[in-house]
Structure 1
Amino acid sequence: MERVRLVYTTFPDAETALAVGEALVRARLAACVNVLPGMRSVYAWKGAVEKAEEVVAILKSRESLSGPLAAALKARHPYETPIILHLPVAEADPDTEAWIRAETGG
């Protein structure tokens, strides 16, 4: 059975994250996108240390959609180099897995 995959990314604001998330859900690349506002980031970028307000987005999808999901996310993302981390799920509730598969065409 195909495994569930979580994708972690960040956005500059909740409105952008929700708009991109909605597009990915409508395209059936993700079953759900959770947007968590209020994050402060400190990161290295092009030789400098930067600080920014960001939001986290966690996307629920399937392993076989990792490539298409990453491509669609990059195409819609406002960052030059968006963070896209594919996180394998060791175990999930069977009903949750079934819902994610059903909502992503699996």
Structure 2
Amino acid sequence: MDRLGSRCPLPSCVRPSALVCLLILTTSFLTLPTLRTLVLQLHSAVTGSYVSGTHSIVFVNCPNEQTARDIARAILDKKLAASVNILPKVSSLYFWKGEIEEATEILLLIKTKTSKVLMLSSYIRLLHPFEIPEVFSLAMNQGDVHYLKWFEEAVED
């Protein structure tokens, strides 16, 4: 008598237990950023300390002030950031298609949760007029406790 799952009519059949393990691993991998955020928030609440890297500042250059304001408002409307600073007239020198270019741009400093950086970056690419917009982030190490509390309330999970 054969046991259930010991034979499979198809060649190289995957047993149900292997499928369940694969599903659990895939689900765990996909939810890792969310789980990490929840664990960091719990740790912070229990210990009363700030966990370095929970929040980030995202830098984005824009061609003009109107574009910068439009992107900033769209980001805030989507609750992808707590605040955005618009710094006017940043001089930029960079390589583009083998040549050194020079431009005056507007710099956005976007404060967000580190768990939102990938989603924020994708959203900015949809809105931004540049072929390859400059989008990069730096994790925050410390901050004022009251500011960080406000920050947590301003950006939805």
Residues matched between the structures, number = 106
Dislocated runs of 4+, deviation >4 Å? none
1:65 matched to 2:90? The reply is no
Alignment of 1:28-47 (within 5 A): 28-47=79-98
Q: TM-score, normalised by structure 1?
A: 0.94
Please identify the structure whose Cα radius of gyration is greater. Answer: 2
Q: Deviations over 1:60-104 (max 9, x none)?
A: 000111111111111111111111111100111111111121111
Paired AA for residue 105 in structure 2? E
Distance (whole Å) between structure 2 residues aligned to residue 79 and residue 46 of structure 1: 14
Instruction: Report deviation, 1:32.
Output: 0.8
Distance (whole Å) between structure 2 residues aligned to residue 67 and residue 40 of structure 1: 26
Q: TM-score, normalised by structure 2?
A: 0.65
* Residue identity (%): 28
CA RMSD for the aligned pairs?
1.1
Instruction: Report deviation, 1:41.
Output: 1.1
Distance (whole Å) between structure 2 residues aligned to residue 72 and residue 90 of structure 1: 25
Q: Which protein has the bigger strand share?
A: 1
Q: Which residue of 2 aligns with 1:17?
A: 68
Paired AA for residue 124 in structure 2? L
Contact kept, 8 Å, 1:4 with 1:92, in 2: the verdict is no
Distance (whole Å) between structure 2 residues aligned to residue 71 and residue 94 of structure 1: 29
Q: Which protein has the bigger helix share?
A: 2
Q: Which residue of 1 aligns with 2:22?
A: none
**Structure 1 gap segments, 5+ residues each:** none
